[in-house]
Chains A and B, each alone.
Chain A
Amino acid sequence: MTQLKDHNLFLRRTDREAPGKHMRPLLLLLVFVASGLLLLSRLDHSMVSDVRWRASTWLSPVLRGALIPAEPVREIGRSISAQVDLSHELERLRQENQKLESWKWRAQQLESKVADLEALAKTVPEQKIDFLTSRVIADSSGVFVRSVTIDAGRKRNVKEGYPVINGDGLVGRIVDVAPAVSRVLLATDLNSRIPVRIGPNAVRGILAGDNSARPRLIYIPEGANIANGDDVATSGVGGVFPEGLRLGTVVGGLSDPRVALRADLDRLSYVSVLFFADPFRGVTGDLSQRKVSGEAHNAIPPVYPRLRAAP
């Protein structure tokens, strides 16, 4: 009996018509489903983005777990790249330190002057912004989107729209919040638009991401005086970002001005979320109500039109 079974088995294994695996109808069905999902994503169906974010939230504990064995590998990579850049970095820091030493003395003088003037003018003190530092647990930077997931969410009072920075400057802003995780849209993303001021003349413009490493500067006024190397910082217009967050410097010529960001968005490990609420939210609503009721007729129109995602 055993011999017969073995014999049958032998016959079954060798009497194949052709070697290799064969395509099943299920494969065609799966291709059809994947194509349908891709089409829905292209149409930007709200259900797709909602399902994607929910699923991503459920998978966040898996990502956190996967980071534990991955952390030593990341650390080795970081130390290798640090060793490679060490000599250049040392020289750069030495030169920067010399400059900063002269600026330090000047800054101290100016600081005391400003304090005296503020006391004289009875200036309202600047609002201090709370922040929270969080770990990056997933990097979604690819051909379609430039974003990272951080392990702080609604439970830690993180809200949509909050700016995100690291030691070098602005990184992006929160666009999705779940109880334990949040998604940060990076400044380089196709859908990122940041109101900025450029250079010593404080020229206004918009920093527009295009999924490249260096985002573009758009809506710069005609004849604006900007040059390569000018500092770019947030202007605070629109109330999404506080004024004065560093972004980078102008590069690439005046025909297509771009910004070399100070923050290395490819190597984000920890970022800080600024608890910055839009200071104009209440004011704008109040103005519109007044206009309707006829109390005020000089309501200011918005400075920038509502922005759309670039094609």
Chain B
Amino acid sequence: MKWVRASLPVLSVALLSLAAALPWGLAAEDRFVLPLLPVIAIYHWTLDPDAWLPDWAIFLAGLMLDVLTQGPLGYWALVYLCAYAVAMLVSRRPAASALGRMATLAFAIVAVTGFAWLLASLYFLQLLRWQPYAWSALVTIILAFALTPFLGITWSGAKSAARGMRLTRGSQ
């Protein structure tokens, strides 16, 4: 169980990245929400001092998504590393209230989506339409308020399971 707990952050980011490549039947412009879901997980785990989510795992998750979506290599890897950097900056001055945490999460998603738009515009050397990105950021913020508690509950469950095993070992 300790192993599951340790790998939960990496596994969740990898699974969300994999899910972003599956055919869910969404319109092409709405599909941009899916690759933003790992951003929520990256932000959440980076803020948790006990969670193990190395930067190379984030890079690999982004690269895997680039490969699966047949897009330019390095695009999602850069976007996810940007999410990691934003989360690290936020973790230096964590918000005390729940409202503050929600606001910083929303800010992080908007910042990362803005970076993704800027990077795609640089790639094509023309300003792309920002509306699909803004819409995706909005949907991702709404989804984040559901996904973040889910990740927290899963983490607490894995934590308590791991703690139980340690007690058993100590009593032997």
- Roughly how many angstroms separate A240 CA and B31 CA in the complex, as a whole number? 30
In the complex, which residues 130-177 of chain A have their Cβ closer than 8 Å to any Cβ of chain B? 136-148
In the complex, which residues 250-274 of chain A have their Cβ closer than 8 Å to any Cβ of chain B? 265-269
In the complex, which residues 38-59 of chain A have their Cβ closer than 8 Å to any Cβ of chain B? 38-42, 48, 51-53, 55-56, 59
Contact B70 A267 (CB under 8 A): no
B65 to chain A, nearest CB (A): 10
B6 to chain A, nearest CB (A): 16
Secondary structure call for the B interface: helix
Contact B74 A36 (CB under 8 A): yes
Secondary structure call for the A interface: helix
Give the residue of A24, A42, A77 whose beta carbon is less than 8 angstroms from that of B25: A77
Contact A38 B91 (CB under 8 A): no
Known contacts A22-B88, A35-B74: A143-B32 contact under CB 8 Å: yes
Residues of B within 8 A of A136 (CB): 23
Is the C-beta of A67 less than 8 angstroms from some C-beta in chain B?
A: yes
Is the C-beta of A110 less than 8 angstroms from some C-beta in chain B?
A: no
Binds A, one of B14-22, B100-108, B140-148, B156-164: B14-22
Is the C-beta of A115 less than 8 angstroms from some C-beta in chain B?
A: no
Known contacts A18-B92, A74-B25: A59-B19 contact under CB 8 Å: no
Residues of A within 8 A of B94 (CB): 19-20
Residues of A within 8 A of B88 (CB): 20-23
- Roughly how many angstroms separate A31 CA and B92 CA in the complex, as a whole number? 21
Known contacts A59-B64, A268-B23: A35-B78 contact under CB 8 Å: yes
- Roughly how many angstroms separate A39 CA and B25 CA in the complex, as a whole number? 31
Give the residue of A24, A38, A211, A265 whose beta carbon is less than 8 angstroms from that of B55: A24
In the complex, which residues 58-74 of chain A have their Cβ closer than 8 Å to any Cβ of chain B? 59, 62-63, 66-67, 70, 73-74
The count of residues in chain A whose C-beta lies closer than 8 Å to any C-beta of chain B is 60
Can you name the residue of chain A whose Cβ is closest to the Cβ of B29?
Answer: A213
Is the C-beta of A93 less than 8 angstroms from some C-beta in chain B?
A: no
Known contacts A74-B25, A266-B27, A266-B28: A140-B70 contact under CB 8 Å: yes
Can you name the residue of chain A whose Cβ is closest to the Cβ of B121?
Answer: A143
Is the C-beta of A224 less than 8 angstroms from some C-beta in chain B?
A: no
Which of A20, A145, A211 has the most B CB atoms < 10 Å from its CB?
A: A20
Can you name the residue of chain B whose Cβ is closest to the Cβ of A67?
Answer: B22
Give the residue of A21, A27, A38, A265 whose beta carbon is less than 8 angstroms from that of B72: A38
- Roughly how many angstroms separate A283 CA and B128 CA in the complex, as a whole number? 44
Residues of B within 8 A of A213 (CB): 27-29
Is the C-beta of A33 less than 8 angstroms from some C-beta in chain B?
A: yes
A27 to chain B, nearest CB (A): 5
Contact A52 B66 (CB under 8 A): yes
Residues of A within 8 A of B85 (CB): 23, 27
Is the C-beta of B155 less than 8 angstroms from some C-beta in chain A?
A: no
Residues of A within 8 A of B70 (CB): 52-53, 56, 140, 144-145, 147, 183
- Roughly how many angstroms separate A235 CA and B41 CA in the complex, as a whole number? 49
Residues of A within 8 A of B81 (CB): 27, 30-31, 34
Is the C-beta of B120 less than 8 angstroms from some C-beta in chain A?
A: yes
Contact A26 B55 (CB under 8 A): yes
Contact A34 B74 (CB under 8 A): yes
Is the C-beta of A234 less than 8 angstroms from some C-beta in chain B?
A: no
Known contacts A21-B49, A24-B55, A145-B70: A30-B25 contact under CB 8 Å: no
A154 to chain B, nearest CB (A): 18
Known contacts A21-B49, A21-B88: A138-B28 contact under CB 8 Å: no
- Roughly how many angstroms separate A148 CA and B59 CA in the complex, as a whole number? 24
27 contacts between A and B (CB under 8 A): A19-B91, A21-B88, A22-B88, A30-B77, A34-B59, A34-B62, A35-B74, A36-B74, A38-B119, A38-B123, A52-B70, A59-B68, A70-B24, A73-B24, A74-B24, A139-B22, A139-B31, A140-B68, A142-B28, A142-B71, A143-B128, A144-B69, A144-B70, A144-B71, A146-B28, A213-B27, A266-B27
Which 6 A-B pairs rank lowest in CB-CB distance, beginning with the nearest? A37-B74, A41-B72, A20-B91, A38-B74, A139-B23, A20-B92
